[in-house]
Structure 1
């Protein structure tokens, strides 16, 4: 009897340990359609859906770690989280490995219709532009240099509110966010045709301390695209 119990316990010790949760950073400055927070926890949105699906393909449980934008790089580098998805390499310098594309991003400069319409980005040199605190706008930084005058708000929703209230004349938003707000009927301000600042692929940045290889991450994303749960258009 004792021998049988010993063999049973020994066999249990040889079983593989359950995989730890896959910890996704979620930027607390974003809102729907990307993320909806309730009591500080991510509950829905594109970031939630991508994380749950990716974790499922990697046979892991998804855990979401809300982080302020300015602390994302530090949190990822220190290993307090495993990855962040939906980011561009130019936004997040650091010793990270980058996955295959998960989405495309189009950054727009929008202007109210009751102010002179800029014909090119250089027309905005020296003018105040609504921007999101802690976020880098690489293309504008390169093109306008010191003439890029930021007027920071906490998130894109705040920028659209300030445009509607005529507190700012110009703002930087993503095409997907602007389209979402217009579909939902939450933004009806007349605008000039937007200027495209930049188009870029968004990827997942992998922590150097993650218990996940870049190859495993890319394989999971490839499976998602094959089955249709991930659509990246070029």
Structure 2
């Protein structure tokens, strides 16, 4: 004889906290092995935040273009490290978790742009599915994107002289130079935008925004949340 111990759905506090992770990002943000997130800043933030909330972290890899749909359908609770301008949708947004410094980098063998208007019509290495609000606003239809699948592809295109410019985050460029030895000669980067990054919370998540913000605030105070992008 068997006895069922299923008493209905687990209370929200006992259920895993499901984090969407963008599959187009790479270290220092995320390292995937056989399709699973194994390490990186996104991984550590998820583990720390879930622990603070008394939950287990579960990571849900999702292609960038499908992130909005995944959150709207309740396939995950939240994604952290995004800005509302990048991710339109009916989400609740947390307090800031980090700052993102978006840089335009230019090969040293090419003339550096003196102003954004100098980039009109020039091919710029970009990541497919990602929005670049500053250049969209300044250049409009003259913003010429050359999309790659991820930031690593953009640096390869620069090195191969397929493009003269690319857009990367400051922390990604620092990681490539300091850890992986990327040594392509570049002009001093041009800061395009500084943006507060937050967590987008699905309306179908049982986690209250107030509880999320309280956990993030506590992490700020004890120094466990100090990520810059």
What is the TM-score normalised by the length of structure 2? 0.93
CA distance change for structure 1 residues 232 and 187 in 2, over 3 Å: closer, same or farther? closer
1:171 aligns with 166
User: Offset at 1:185?
Assistant: 3.5
3-state secondary structure, aligned to 1:89: coil
CA distance change for structure 1 residues 192 and 60 in 2, over 3 Å: closer, same or farther? same
Structure-2 separation of matches of 1:17 and 1:79: 14
Structure-1 separation of matches of 2:130 and 2:12: 39
Structure-2 separation of matches of 1:109 and 1:17: 43
For residues 76-225 of structure 1, the aligned pairs below 5 Å read: 76-225=71-220
Contact 2:36–2:61 (Cα < 8 Å) also in 1: yes
Q: Could you tell me which runs of 5 or more consecutive residues in structure 2 were left unpaired when the two chains were aligned.
A: none
1:227 aligns with 222
Aligned length: 222
Which structure would you say has the larger Rg? Answer: 1
Contact 1:122–1:144 (Cα < 8 Å) also in 2: yes
User: Offset at 1:123?
Assistant: 0.5
Q: Could you tell me which runs of 5 or more consecutive residues in structure 1 were left unpaired when the two chains were aligned.
A: 1-11
What is the TM-score normalised by the length of structure 1? 0.91
Greater helix share, 1 or 2? 1
* 4+ residue runs over 2 A deviation: 12-18
Structure-2 separation of matches of 1:139 and 1:215: 31
